[in-house]
Chains A and B, each alone.
Chain A
Amino acid sequence: MKEIKKSWKNIPIGGNILEAGNSKNYITGTWRTFIPRLDKEKCVNCFQCWMFCPDNSISIVENKMVGFDYDHCKGCGMCVSVCPTKAITMEKEEK
């Protein structure tokens, strides 16, 4: 997403950022070289990956691990290493 840089007249004073959590609009997914993939068959929804993902990139919907937030996943592989059933694997990302 290309961000439009604003004039000093149109930004809050003091450097305050008024929209909490707006880093979700910043894409860190481009940092990846390896990408995690989920095998839903193997996943037992233990949510270990959710707990240990540093980038809040494990998507949980209705108590089920459904995949990854690829906009923000940096491909660190931690989810792979904590998954007890080997339901997640890393593969080289084609860009």
Chain B
Amino acid sequence: MATRTICGVTVQVNDEGFMTNPAEWNKDIAVELAKEEGIAELTPNHWKVIDFCRQSAATSGAAPTIRTITSGSGISTKELFSLFPKGPAKKVAKISGLGKPEGCV
């Protein structure tokens, strides 16, 4: 397992760059990871989704799917795609310090 330092904090990541320990995450890290994903600024609606995903993962143990996010956070699928373009479930999971969503098998 690799580690990397983001905003002065050393965190564990997998080979696709997903953090593997959600407890190592903080909001500064989210801002930095968002930039790497091409999102220059995190708006209140971005945070609404991130907060929802953190909570959802804390109870279920896994990053939520798009459908879980839209039905639970009140953000429409269309808006979710404009907030986190191309693969929102994966992008949010990465920025929120959660593992890669299992989605389907």
Chain A bound to chain B: no
Please list the residues of chain A having a beta carbon within 8 angstroms of any beta carbon in chain B. none
Please list the residues of chain B having a beta carbon within 8 angstroms of any beta carbon in chain A. none
